Amino acid sequence: MGNKQVTNGDESNSTSNQKNGYKLNNVNTKHTKKQKASPPEDAVTIEELIDDSKENKIEDSELITEAPTIRVVPPLNFCPVEKNLYRSGQPSALNHSFLEQLHLKSIIWLAIEDPQDNFLKFIDDNHINLFCNLGYDSVESNSWDGLSESSIKQALEIIADRRYHPLLVCCGMGRHRTGTVIGCLRKLQGWNFASVSEEYRRFTGPKGGRILVELLIEAFDVSTIRIDKKYAPDWLLR
């Protein structure tokens, strides 16, 4: 028996590939020498960063370690209506610090029930004019929850006199009674009823507005309001 010739695997593969029409290129397996990367021109060293952090260190005296002692929280449904005119629900003791920032001269209270004692004390301590029980007439045929056309008229005539400003209009929740007066004010300003209704509903909560309130606003005769132009606020004369 003749000796079998053992061929190198690479050679046999090369021969096979050549038969199949493939041409293998020699691959250079020499390792290229790695070049050391140079840092960018604007690079900084660790030492420089440490020095900068020391220079910019905040002093202990500059750190806020305690919460502010005065809590400034607006009342329920608080919102500016016009310059120096605001609306809200009945403020609580938590809201007094906020109200002090408004420097109120007058408050119109539209609810039938009396304001809470702490609210009355705040009004007295800050020498604020309080207008309440404005023209309420329980037997008036077109009154709603004690808020009649005459009470709306009186409220609007107070609002239309800037001598009482800054002024807050409020009731128990700042929704329907306050919304009625502000809605009639918007009508006095010439707003279209769709815009008046949208603003009223914005403060009524998830239950929505009351149709009776919107009907009262729509039917209210703004021509009965007496305005002294000498004391009228600028935003009412536009």
**What is the pLDDT tens value at each position of the chain, 238 positions in all?**
444 444 444 544 544 444 444 444 444 445 545 555 566 666 667 676 666 666 666 565 566 666 666 678 999 999 999 999 999 999 999 999 999 999 999 999 999 999 999 999 999 999 999 999 886 655 454 445 658 899 999 999 999 999 999 999 999 999 999 999 999 999 999 999 999 999 999 999 877 778 989 999 999 999 999 999 999 999 998 7
Q: pLDDT at position 199, please?
A: 96
Residue type, 63: L
Q: pLDDT at position 92, please?
A: 96
Which residue, 216, 94, 236, is CA-closest to 167?
Answer: 236
Tell me the longest C-alpha to C-alpha distance in the chain. Answer: 135
d(CA 183, CA 78): 15
Q: Is 38 within the bounds of a domain?
A: no
How does 104-137 read in b/e, with b if 16+ C-beta sit within 10 Å?
Answer: bbbbbbbbeeebeeebeebbeeeebeebeebbbe
Q: Is 130 within the bounds of a domain?
A: yes
d(CA 222, CA 153): 8
> Given CA atoms 184, 174, 145, 154 in this order, what sign does their dihedral have?
negative
Q: pLDDT at position 35, please?
A: 56
Q: pLDDT at position 25, please?
A: 47
Q: Is 128 within the bounds of a domain?
A: yes
Q: pLDDT at position 104, please?
A: 98
Q: pLDDT at position 57, please?
A: 62
Catalytic: which of 79, 132, 170, 171?
171
Q: Is 41 within the bounds of a domain?
A: no
User: Residue 41 corresponds to which tokens in the numbers above?
Assistant: 């021109």
Q: Is 211 within the bounds of a domain?
A: yes
Give the contacts of 56 (CB within 8 A, at least 6 positions apart): none
Q: pLDDT at position 67, please?
A: 64
Is the pTM here over 0.75, yes or no? no
**Total count of domains within the chain:** 1
79 in catalytic set? no
Q: Is 10 within the bounds of a domain?
A: no
Neighbours of 171 (CB within 10 A): 26
Q: Is 201 within the bounds of a domain?
A: yes
Residue 123's domain spans which residues? Answer: 79-236
Q: pLDDT at position 73, please?
A: 94
Strand residue runs (E) in 19-96: 79-82, 85-89
Q: pLDDT at position 161, please?
A: 98
Q: How far is CA 42 from CA 37, 38, 39, 54, 124, in A?
A: 15, 12, 8, 20, 66
Q: Are 111 and 171 in contact (CB under 8 A)?
A: yes
Q: pLDDT at position 21, please?
A: 47
Q: Is 32 within the bounds of a domain?
A: no
Which residue, 89, 83, 226, is CA-closest to 166?
Answer: 83
- Domain of 148, CATH number, reads 3.90.190.10
